[in-house]
Amino acid sequence: MSGGDTADRIRRLLETEGEAVKRSTTTFNQGRYQRLAELEHHEQLRDRTRAIKESAIEHLPELLDQVTESVETNGGSVHLAADATDAHRVVHEIVDMYDAEVAVKSKSMTTEEIGLNDALEGAGVEVWETDLGEFIIQLADESPSHITAPAIHHSQEEIAALFAERFDLEEPLTDAAALTRFARSFLTERIKEADIGITGANFIAADSGTIVLVTSEGNARKCVALPPVHIAIAGIEKIIPSIADLDPFIQLLARSATGQDLSAYLSLFTPPVDTPVPTFEQPETPIEELSDERSFHLILLDNGRWDLRADTDLKETLYCIRCSACANSCANFQHVGGHAFGGETYSGGIATGWETGVHGIDSAAQFTDLCTGCTRCVPNCPVKIDIPWINTVVRDRLNRAPADGRFDAIYRGLRPTSEAEGISIQRRAIANVDRLLRWASLTAPVSTSLTETRPVRLLAEHFFGIDRRRTLPQVTGRRFSRWAADRESVQAPRRSVVIYPDIYTEYVRPERGKAAVTLLESLGIAVEVAPVVESGRAPLSQGMVKQARTRAAQTLDSLRPSLGADSDVVVIEPSELGMFRREYSRLLGDESSALAERSYELFEYLFDVCEAYDTSIETEANGHAIYHPHCQARTLGIETYTTSILEMAGLDVQTTTAECCGMAGSFGFKTQYYDLSMAIGESLAEEVEGAEEAVVLASGTSCLDQLTAVTDTEPIHPAVWLAKQR
């Protein structure tokens, strides 16, 4: 899919599905924030879920043997299916065994994954989805757009029109209650007719064979208890050791998914269940005369999961409990939904791992760039999966895959520079942005003037896929490190720090570096500026892990003398702190631990100094400010340090609630994502422009650029504003 095709698809989904998806996901999101804030020991629960899943996947062979023994002891049958074809074969055998003609299903992404409905219909079985959302999707002949809310992209009016088209209605169904009543009545009749009930499983307890279903509707219970035959189809990763391990998952699952304390229906079955099979043709039949002959079949699906288990970088995918928190917290997903941000089956950030594992890397290629690495999903995942890293790894593998036989992720008709590596010119340019900025700095201000001309913008769009509507970075010849080298140091300092000069502070926004030095020195801190070395963030954002690792090693080497001299490292760009504290452990291992422990964001460090020495940054400032924290600052939990320092300085600070500015580094520059980036930015613009006579502050380069693009304000970095007030 070319960049133009991607842009067209995103524009279409923004217009047709975006509003409905945004309305629902943001509601889920806000509910999650509220419910989890009220939950005691939230982080300890996350630690427990993570530990249980890690152990379960590690001991999966033993658990498979145990659950097989448990189910068979209970009177059920267990089938291990290698892939979708094998699962279809097993289901066909069961259908033939019981001469089944009608099957009813509860919601199951695993059955979506293997295309079970088509396989059953091909065998002559009438199949009905009994979950309301899945029922709507079935009628519309569409794929789900969300892991937990499959019809989230449809409005009430669209659903009413769909029902009117598909059914001979006596009168129009005009509201949600009427639509739901009709669906319940219709599906109840289908369940009564069913020979087989099919469910998935949220969890399977190995010690007892108990199936756990967490649903918002009662249909799953009916699919288990009413038909004489029950088939449960689940991935092998759904097995946990025992029911005793269920508690932390239940406490987190509904809260993480929809912002509920507990889902409407929590069902635990140890099948075959012992309730009699009802006879709807003879409703007055005494219960003692009803048949108690029930059959249960558990199909445990591999379909790439064993390979995922052996894949060091993608293994975490198997820890997923499919709550959709990663999708709901993602600004990109909120605006376009899973029909853009998804593959054959799965959608949202974690979909990259699932699609790569079960459908192949080509299936993930078309949407993996929609993960911008903002990390907003990381603290929201109840199992602490590093979803951005999974996306980066898959992007890296796509880059290194042969161009032939893989999804063509090359934009604007460009081709790889070699057959061995499928890295587009766009990716290469962004990964080496430090070199471009350095060259531009050498020729500034001429280079800056040229970037503002239409011909240069058209060329940038044609060759590099940088949208012509974006303002390119305004490079200055007055580099931060050169300014810093000419100043006098603090006498008798309280502490010594070294500032890591990210490339935008060095070449584009040196004023924030100067402000940082001014503020630190005002508190008696001796400041040095480290050599300018790109941290590896730029190539990592493009999935170029090898180059990122090389840059990271160079950056660490440049900072070793300072770490050895007991100096702390202060960074100005929050995403660089994210590199030092998170990504470097992936790229460099334990070698980077000292840097992670000794690195601080500027305001985090200023706050620490003020607390340690009972001092403050004195200004005569007052008034109101609206502050938009960088995504990385939020996920690192450091944004409050900035507001605290600003409040100490005399400002009344309002922090934005927008999930993201939409720029996300290079993402907003790319032609194929420009419209999505601006749509996200408009949400922030509405919030910022509603604050009259407020100074607008933002801590990230991308945030400042986007606020400039989408508002009539002149945003400023908090350090720059604060330094000007002294």
For residue range 138-197, list pLDDT tens digits in order: 999 999 999 999 999 999 999 999 999 999 998 889 899 999 999 999 999 999 999 999
CA–CA dist 162, 168 (Å, integer):
11
The proportion of the chain whose per-residue pLDDT surpasses 70, expressed as a percent, equals: 95
Q: Where exactly are the structural domains of the chain?
A: 1-38+313-408, 61-280+288-303, 426-464, 478-615, 617-726
| DSSP track, 13-54 | HHHHTHHHHHHHHHHHHHHHHHHHHHSTTHHHHHHHHHHHHH
The total of other beta-carbon atoms located within 10 Å of residue 591's CB is 13
* Long-range Cβ pairs for the range 7-16 (8 Å, 24+): 7/671, 7/672, 7/673, 7/674, 7/675, 9/340, 10/336, 10/340, 10/672, 10/673, 10/675, 10/676, 11/675, 13/336, 13/337, 13/339, 13/340, 14/335, 14/336, 14/675, 14/676, 14/679
CA–CA dist 462, 412 (Å, integer):
7
In sequence order, what are the beta bridge partners of 105? 129, 198
Q: What is the pLDDT of residue 409?
A: 38
Domain 61-280+288-303, CATH homologous superfamily name and number: NagB/RpiA/CoA transferase-like (3.40.50.10420)
Range 478-615 has CATH code 3.40.50:
yes
Q: 213 — phi, psi (to 5°)? A: -120, 125
User: Exposed, middle or buried, 273 (CB in 10 Å: 0-12/13-18/19+)?
Assistant: middle
Cα Rg of the chain (Å, integer)? 28
Q: Which segments of 401-479 does DSSP mark as H helices, in order?
A: 425-431, 433-442, 446-451, 454-464
**Mean pLDDT along residues 207-233:** 95
Q: Which of 197-206, 394-403, 598-607, 703-712 has the lowest mean pLDDT?
A: 394-403
Beta-sheet pairing, 203-205 with 211-215: antiparallel
CA–CA dist 137, 566 (Å, integer):
60
Element (H, E) at 305: helix 305-310
What single letter denotes the amino acid at residue 351?
Answer: A
For domain 617-726, give its CATH number from 3.30.450, 3.60.21, 2.60.40, 3.40.50. Answer: 3.40.50
In sequence order, what are the beta bridge partners of 697? 627, 716
Beta-sheet pairing, 623-628 with 651-655: parallel
Q: What is the pLDDT of residue 282?
A: 62
**Mean pLDDT along residues 351-375:** 95
Q: What is the pLDDT of residue 243?
A: 96
Q: What is the pLDDT of residue 283?
A: 66
Q: What is the pLDDT of residue 170?
A: 86
Reported as a pLDDT band with limits 50, 70 and 90, residue 585 is very high
**Mean pLDDT along residues 447-454:** 86
**Mean pLDDT along residues 498-523:** 96
The total of other beta-carbon atoms located within 10 Å of residue 680's CB is 28
| DSSP track, 141-173 | T---SSSS-TTTT--HHHHHHHHHHHS--SS--
Taking a C-beta distance cutoff of 8 angstroms, is the pair 17, 335 a contact? no
101, 141, 98: which is closest to 118 by C-alpha? Answer: 141
**Mean pLDDT along residues 661-684:** 95
Residues 6+ apart with CB under 8 A from 578: 375, 632, 635, 636
Reported as a pLDDT band with limits 50, 70 and 90, residue 42 is very high
**Mean pLDDT along residues 476-495:** 87
CA–CA dist 291, 279 (Å, integer):
9
Q: 203 — phi, psi (to 5°)? A: -150, 155
Q: pLDDT at residue 627 above 90?
A: yes
Q: pLDDT at residue 404 above 70?
A: no
Beta-sheet pairing, 525-529 with 265-269: unpaired
Tokens in use for 630?
Answer: 């960088």
Q: What is the pLDDT of residue 300?
A: 98
Under DSSP, the state recorded for 103 is E
Work out the mean pLDDT of the chain and round it to a whole number. 92
> 61-280+288-303 with 617-726: one CATH topology?
yes
Residue 15 CA: distances (Å) to CA of 12, 24, 299, 335, 675: 5, 16, 40, 10, 11
127, 135, 138: which is closest to 194 by C-alpha? Answer: 127
Under DSSP, the state recorded for 114 is T
**Mean pLDDT along residues 485-505:** 89
Tokens in use for 72?
Answer: 């068979």
Q: Which of 98-102, 578-582, 690-694 has the lowest mean pLDDT?
A: 690-694
Q: What is the pLDDT of residue 403?
A: 46
Residue 107 CA: distances (Å) to CA of 117, 204, 292: 12, 16, 26
CA–CA dist 357, 550 (Å, integer):
28
CA–CA dist 4, 7 (Å, integer):
5
Reported as a pLDDT band with limits 50, 70 and 90, residue 415 is very low
Q: What is the pLDDT of residue 202?
A: 97
Reported as a pLDDT band with limits 50, 70 and 90, residue 422 is low
The total of other beta-carbon atoms located within 10 Å of residue 157's CB is 9
Q: Which of 342-356, 434-448, 702-716 has the lowest mean pLDDT?
A: 434-448
**Mean pLDDT along residues 338-346:** 96
The proportion of the chain whose per-residue pLDDT surpasses 90, expressed as a percent, equals: 82
Residues 6+ apart with CB under 8 A from 93: none
**Mean pLDDT along residues 705-722:** 94
Q: What is the pLDDT of residue 208?
A: 97
The total of other beta-carbon atoms located within 10 Å of residue 9's CB is 16
The residue that leads in pLDDT, 423 or 708, is 708
CA–CA dist 229, 223 (Å, integer):
9
Task: Tell me how far apart the 2 most distant CA atoms of the chain are, in Å.
Answer: 96
Q: For residue 726, how far is the Cα from the chain centroid?
A: 41
